[in-house]
Amino acid sequence: MARRDKRDDIVRAALELIAENGFHGAPIAMIADRAGVGTGTIYRYFANKDLLISKLYQELEEKIQSVIMEGYASEKPIRERFLHLCTALLRYFIENPLDFRYMEQFHNSPYGVAVRRDKILGKKGEPDMYRELFEEGVEQQVIKGIPLAALFALSFGPLLNVARDHILGFITLDDALIARIIEACWDGIRR
C-alpha cells in the first residue's frame, strides 16, 4: 500500500470517529483499528493526537474553501456573492456530513477559539472571502454597519444550525428550502 493511502486511511478513520463520537470517543487505538493500522503507525504520520486533529481540520478547511470558491466571481454584486458562498457552504456540509460534524467538534474545543479569533480579527495576511465580502458590503452600505463578528454570527449561526439539524434529521433541506433560508440570512445582514 502506498504511503499516501495509509495516511489517508488514518485521516479518514479519525474524521469518521471524531465526527460520530467526538474527540472523547475516538481514542488513538480505535482510530488505528478503524484505519487498519497499528497504533504506532499513526505516530509516523502525526507527532501526536493534537496535531492529527489540527492537521485534519486544516485540510478540511482548505478543501471546503476551494469547493465554495468554485464559480465565485468577485465582480458580481455583494448579494449574489453572499448567496453563492452560503449556498455552496451549506450544500457542502449537507453532502459531507462527516466533514461538518468534524468541523463542529473542532470549533467547539480549545483549538477552535484561536481559529475563530483569526477568522474574525484577520490572520497575518491570509485573506478570507467572507471577511472581504462583509467589509466591502458595509462600505457600499449594502450590509448593516455592525461589527464583523455580528455579521459572521448572523450568517454562519443559522447556516451551521440548519446544517446540523438536517444531518440529525430534524429538518430536511431541499434546494428550495436552502434558498429560502439563505435569503433569510441575507435579510438579516442587509441594510
Which residues contact DNA by CB under 7 A?
Answer: 1, 3, 6, 24, 26-30, 36-41, 43-45, 48-50
Report how far residue 96's alpha carbon sits from residue 171's, in angstroms, rounded to the nearest whole number. Answer: 16
- In sequence order, the 6+-apart residues with CB closer than 8 A to the CB of 146 are none
Report how far residue 57's alpha carbon sits from residue 147's, in angstroms, rounded to the nearest whole number. Answer: 26
Closer to a second copy at the Cβ: 46 or 152?
Answer: 152
Report how far residue 100's alpha carbon sits from residue 102's, in angstroms, rounded to the nearest whole number. Answer: 5
Residue 181 binds what, of DNA, a second copy, none (CB under 5 to 8 Å, by partner type)? a second copy
Closer to DNA at the Cβ: 31 or 85?
Answer: 31
The residue assigned the cell 481559529 is 115
Closer to DNA at the Cβ: 44 or 116?
Answer: 44
Shortest approach of DNA to residue 38 CB, angstroms?
3
- Work out the angle between the directed axes of helices 78-95 and 49-68 (0-180°, nearest 10): 130
E-only strand ranges, 11-148: none
| 117-176 residues near a second copy, rule: CB under 8 A | 117, 120-121, 144, 146-147, 149-150, 152-154, 156-162, 165, 168, 170-171
Report how far residue 71's alpha carbon sits from residue 186's, in angstroms, rounded to the nearest whole number. Answer: 20
Which residues of the chain form contacts with a second copy (CB under 8 A)? Answer: 21-24, 104-105, 108-110, 113, 116-117, 120-121, 144, 146-147, 149-150, 152-154, 156-162, 165, 168, 170-171, 177, 180-181, 184-185, 187-190
